[in-house]
Amino acid sequence: MSFLEKKSWQNNQKRILASEQQHLDVFRLAQQLH
């Protein structure tokens, strides 16, 4: 894997993790409201 490919793959992983984290936060907020 080239350096640029590795970099974009890492950025992709970070984006996926970030969106999953947002879903968890929303889920937690929803639970607190009930």
pLDDT tens digit string along 12-21?
A: 999 999 999 9
Report the pLDDT value the prediction gives residue 11, as an integer from 0 to 100: 98
pLDDT tens digit string along 1-34?
A: 899 999 999 999 999 999 999 999 999 999 998 7
| Whole-prediction pTM | 0.64
Report the pLDDT value the prediction gives residue 27, as an integer from 0 to 100: 94
CB 1, CB 9: distance < 8 Å? yes
Question: What is the rounded CA–CA span in Å between residue 22 and residue 19?
Answer: 5
